[in-house]
């Protein structure tokens, strides 16, 4: 019996709403496989187990991409064959900082890739009086000023929390160009605001969506990321 035809790989269908992208923004390669992962996690009927599994897969890809943006220096090793290999090694120390609560869901993905990585936390919420993002809590490694920081928050909506987080990190001595902000889905509005304020900070995003609705949810988005993973907000 003849083998049934296999569909050739298709390019993903994402047409970014931000064209051209700000130079500090990097998306994951927009492949059909990546789009299939996003299609699963966006679906409202997707079980929590599948949401966890497939969002973790995307987080892993994002963390790996984030690490591609760290500087390296030449490093020479001797191999078991007695030959020398002129390669590279990471230049500096890193840490993660998760924006609570949803960002905590990305910590495991970072730990899988960077063994015994230090991870700080930051809690930012809307100030009811001013309606502006306000810092409620932060805990960082004491030497954070000398580290590259992978800032973790799954959804870049208005950009308010991410900009406040970078402001706090800069106050703690981390240069903005040593921060790499990693998220799964961005709204163009948030990306524009963030990159306008912190053009030196790299943003690694998996997918750029259409925009925000009146409740500042990303459209089409995936709903409330924390709720879907059952992380309390
Ligand atoms: N946070 C979420 O979890 N979802 C959005 O769409 C926007 C912010």
Q: Does the Cβ of 227 fall within 6 Å of ligand 1? A: no
pLDDT digits (tens, 9 = 90+) for 82-117: 999 999 999 889 999 999 989 999 999 999 999 989
pLDDT digits (tens, 9 = 90+) for 142-178: 999 999 999 999 999 999 999 999 999 999 999 999 9
Asked if pLDDT for residue 9 goes beyond 80, the answer is no
Of ligand 1's listed atoms, the one at least distance from the Cα of 218 is 6
How large is the C-alpha radius of gyration of the chain? 19
Say what the pLDDT of residue 16 is. 67
Query: How many Å apart are CA 186 and CA 206, to the nearest integer?
Result: 8
Q: Which of 67, 103, 66, 92 is nearest to 175 (CA)?
A: 92
Say what the pLDDT of residue 50 is. 97
Compute the C-alpha angle 211/216/217, nearest 5°: 70
Of ligand 1's listed atoms, the one at least distance from the Cα of 228 is 3
Which pair of structure tokens corresponds to residue 184?
A: 């799964």
**Which CA distances in Å does 66 have to 6, 52, 145, 169?**
33, 21, 19, 18
Say what the pLDDT of residue 130 is. 85
pLDDT digits (tens, 9 = 90+) for 24-40: 999 999 999 999 999 99
Asked if pLDDT for residue 11 goes beyond 60, the answer is no
CA–centroid distance, residue 216 to ligand 1 (Å): 7
Q: Which helix (H) or strand (E) holds 59?
A: helix 48-67
């Amino acid at each position: 019996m003849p083998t049934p035809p296999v569909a050739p790989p298709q390019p993903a269908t994402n047409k970014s709403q931000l064209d051209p992208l700000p130079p500090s923004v990097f998306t994951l390669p927009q492949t059909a496989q990546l789009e299939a992962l996003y299609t699963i996690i966006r679906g409202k009927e997707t079980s929590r187990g599948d949401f966890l599994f497939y969002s973790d897969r995307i987080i892993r890809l994002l963390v790996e991409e984030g690490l591609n943006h760290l500087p390296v220096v030449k490093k020479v090793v001797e191999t078991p064959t007695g030959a020398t290999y002129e390669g590279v090694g990471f230049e500096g120390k890193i840490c993660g900082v998760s924006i609570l609560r949803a960002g905590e869901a990305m910590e495991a993905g970072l730990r899988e890739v960077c063994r015994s990585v230090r991870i700080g936390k930051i809690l930012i919420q809307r100030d009811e009086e001013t309606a502006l993002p306000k810092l409620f809590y932060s805990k960082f490694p004491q030497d954070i000023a000398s580290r590259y920081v992978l800032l973790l928050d799954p959804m870049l909506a208005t950009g308010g929390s991410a900009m406040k987080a970078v402001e706090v990190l800069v106050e703690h001595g981390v240069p903005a160009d040593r921060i790499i902000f990693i998220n799964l889905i961005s709204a163009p509005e948030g990306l524009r605001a963030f990159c306008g304020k912190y053009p030196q900070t790299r943003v690694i995003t998996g997918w750029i969506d259409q925009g925000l609705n009146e409740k500042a949810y990303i459209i089409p988005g995936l709903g409330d990321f924390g709720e879907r993973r059952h992380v309390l907000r």
